[in-house]
Amino acid sequence: MNRADLEEMQADLALQLKRAERLSAEDLAREIRRIGFWCMRCGDCCRGEENSVVVFPFEIREIVALAGEGWLEVAEPPLEGEWDIGGNFHTLEWRLRKEDRDCRYYSEEGCKIYEARPLLCQTYPFYLEDGRLDWSECRGLGGEIGFEASQKLAELLKRRQIVEIKEAIELVRRYEDFERGDSSPHGKCVVHDSEGEHKIEWSEIPGALGRRLRQSQKW
């Protein structure tokens, strides 16, 4: 990605941000009431292969503070990425860590980090796609939602959209491109986010991620 591509992305993100700031939470809330939603506490959204929660650095810090855990216990890099000529693996943004197929914070009693759960979890199953309300599969859709709950959800959705765009703007602003190379078990993992580059040794990443990457690269 050259500088001109990055500048074009920044200009596009700036326009998206203006549009997101003009979104009407009242209109969104009305739409949510029309669709209907009531959380059944089934935990389906916290478990299984499909569960993948993007977390931003400020959210990771909130979870670190609440759970009393380290950054790499809370979050892990995604497995999609590219290699540079030095054998380092580059990837974008963080995901909440999982234990096997499920979110590490799921329990039958509910979310163990409820007060600090990411915006994505707070707004599930809804999300905004270019300012348009859309939703993922969920058993609670169609349920009855009150005026206040719909208003709160709409405001959270608007906040999430603004946060996502601002995080992307910062990521693009700090992003340093690199020459592409071949995979290697000897380099580092480089996570690009709104704070710049986080360089991690593979041995620092607990859990199954390092193993999964090795398997995917057939090392």
Residue 132 belongs to what H/E stretch? strand 132-135
The β-bridge relationship of strands 89-92 and 189-193 is parallel
What letter does residue 84 receive in the DSSP assignment? B
Contact criterion met (CB below 8 Å) for 63 and 103: no
Among 56, 89, 94, 105, binds ligand SF4 (CB under 6 A): 105
Provide the minimum distance between the beta carbon of 40 and ligand SF4 in the complex, in angstroms, as a whole number. 13
Among 20, 121, 157, 213, binds ligand SF4 (CB under 6 A): 121
Q: Which two tokens stand for residue 47?
A: 């478990």
**How far is residue 186's CA from residue 170's CA, in Å, rounded to a whole number?**
29
Using the contact rule CB under 6 A, the part of the chain among 5-13, 65-73, 102-110, 191-199 near ligand SF4 is 102-110
Task: Tell me the torsion sign for CA atoms 105, 72, 213, 198.
Answer: positive
The β-bridge relationship of strands 75-76 and 82-83 is unpaired
> In the beta sheet, which residues pair with residue 200?
189
Among 103, 145, 154, 168, binds ligand SF4 (CB under 6 A): 103
For ligand SF4, the closer CB: 111 or 169:
111
Provide the minimum distance between the beta carbon of 121 and ligand SF4 in the complex, in angstroms, as a whole number. 3
**Is residue 74 involved in binding ligand SF4 (CB under 6 A)?**
no
Using the contact rule CB under 6 A, the part of the chain among 1-9, 10-18, 101-109, 144-152 near ligand SF4 is 101-109
**Is residue 46 involved in binding ligand SF4 (CB under 6 A)?**
yes
Using the contact rule CB under 6 A, the part of the chain among 106-114, 142-150, 163-171, 200-208 near ligand SF4 is 106-114
Among 113, 172, 190, 191, binds ligand SF4 (CB under 6 A): 113
| DSSP assignments along 37-67, one per residue | B------GGGSSTT---EE-HHHHHHHHHHH
Among 111, 133, 141, 169, binds ligand SF4 (CB under 6 A): 111
